[in-house]
Structures are given as C-alpha cells and as structure tokens.
Amino acid sequence: MTESEAIQARHSVRQYKAKAIEGDVAKQIEDKVAEVNAESGLHFQFLNDSGTAYTNLFLKITGLNSAPASIACVGKDSADLEEKVGYYGEKIVLFLQTIGLNTCWVGSFNKKRSEAEIGEGEKNVISIAVGYGENEGKAHKSKSVDQLVEAKADSPEWFNEGVKAALLAPTALNQQKFVIRLKDDDSAEIVSKGGAFTSVDLGIVKYHFEVGSGRKL
C-alpha cells in the first residue's frame, strides 16, 4: 500500500482487537519512529502498551480504551511544536496504515497517566491510539471544496490532487477549520482558522496535501 492509498483507506478506528503488536511489526514501528524523530527533532515514542492513558470515561464510551498501543507525541516546547507534531505524526499514522494497523488521534487522553518520557523543556502534546481494528472505521462527512478552497476555476491538476488528499485528513472533532489557497504565483498555502487543536490539524492537513500534490508547501 502506498501513502496515497493509505490516505484513502485511513479512518479513525476506536474499537480494537485484544491482539498485541509483536515481533517484526513492533520493530518496524520503532524504526519508523526513530527515522521521523531524526528528521524532525521531535521525541515521538512508541508505547507498545497504552497503559492507563485511555481510561477516562469518554474514551471508555467510545471504545478507545481497547487500543493496545499508542504513539506519544512529545517534543521541545516551541511556537511551532503542535503543527510539527501534526505533520510528522500523520507521517507515522499513514505508515501504520500501510502495514495493516489502525489508528486514532486522541486529544482527550489522560496526560497525567501517560507513560511517555518527557524531557526537560518538552511537552506531551497528543496521543495516537494504535492497534488492529475491529473494523476499518468509516469515511468522515467533509465540508465541500467551495467551503475549504480559494482558487481560480481552472486550478492545476497537482493542486486539485492536493486538495482531495487534504479533505481526507483527520481533524479534531472533524472541524476542518482551514483554508487552502492557490496563490497568483501558482504556489499553494494552507492557513488555520484557529481554535482548539487547529495547529495539530494544520500540520496533518499540510502533510496530506503534500502527498496528494507531490509538492512541498
């Protein structure tokens, strides 16, 4: 499965099989996390036991407490930390999809109970639930292209492909609070409309756009 295919196949999954992530699969995840950390300077951690970080009532109701494992999204506190976590975290999410795992970004995890290592000056931004899903989730309802895009009618193919991938991106509460613009110099920009978790969302949406369009923003 390619990253573009993973963008099509990925949906948030909240019910997981009681099946541990073992052997070679666990090793592939550890290697990917190490590679992304080296590239980004972030401190993502694969916790192959989600422990008690998902035990609050809301996560029990949604089923997310069944997730056997998680990715802790940690990094040095900075103005762009949340956006970077979104961008590089989604790179990990799509990789996990390509190797047959399912995921869900979890903003409402129990930070105090997280077993992540938090170094001096670091922040534990968000968690990603990981495991073998009981199902593959389902496609989210999306805002229309007209609501999310500002571009001339005859926008180029690469831009349209980027938009398609961006509309499939997960966002907190499916809020899709962003605008994708095609600028006069034929470059694209994506800006956030602000609000809770919208910086993480922005990083995720930018990563999808880049994979879909084949261009760096």
Ligand X SMILES: Cc1cc2nc3c(=O)[nH]c(=O)nc-3n(C[C@H](O)[C@H](O)[C@H](O)COP(=O)(O)O)c2cc1C
Rule CB under 6 A: which residues touch ligand X?
11-12, 14, 62, 64, 104-108, 126, 137, 140, 170-174, 197, 200-201, 204
C-beta neighbour count of 5 within 10 angstroms: 12
**Nearest to ligand X of 100, 107 (CB atom):** 107
CA–CA dist 161, 169 (Å, integer): 13
Between 17 and 58, whose beta carbon lies closer to ligand X?
58
| Least distance from ligand X to the Cβ atom of residue 146, Å | 20
207 CB neighbour count, 10 Å cutoff: 24
Give least dist CB 12 to ligand X, A. 3
Pick the closer one to ligand X by CB: 11 or 43: 11
Name which of 31 and 58 has its Cβ closer to ligand X. Answer: 58
Output the smallest distance, CB 115 to ligand X, in A.
18
Question: Which of 11/32 has CB closer to ligand X?
Answer: 11
Query: Which residue is nearest to ligand X, using beta carbons?
Result: 170
d(CA 95, CA 28): 10
The nearest distance, CB 41 to ligand X, in angstroms, is 20
Contact 207, 91 (CB under 8 A): yes
Task: Considering the complex, state which of residue 14 and residue 123 has its C-beta at the smaller distance from ligand X.
Answer: 14
Beta strands in the chain (DSSP E): 45-47, 69-76, 102-106, 122-131, 149-150, 178-182, 188-192
Minimum CB separation of residue 30 from ligand X in Å reads 23
What contacts 24+ positions apart, CB below 8 Å, involve 212-216? 212/4, 212/7, 212/161, 212/162, 212/163, 212/164, 212/165, 212/166, 213/158, 213/159, 213/161, 213/162, 213/165, 213/188, 214/158, 214/161, 215/158, 215/162, 215/188
Q: Output the smallest distance, CB 176 to ligand X, in A.
A: 9
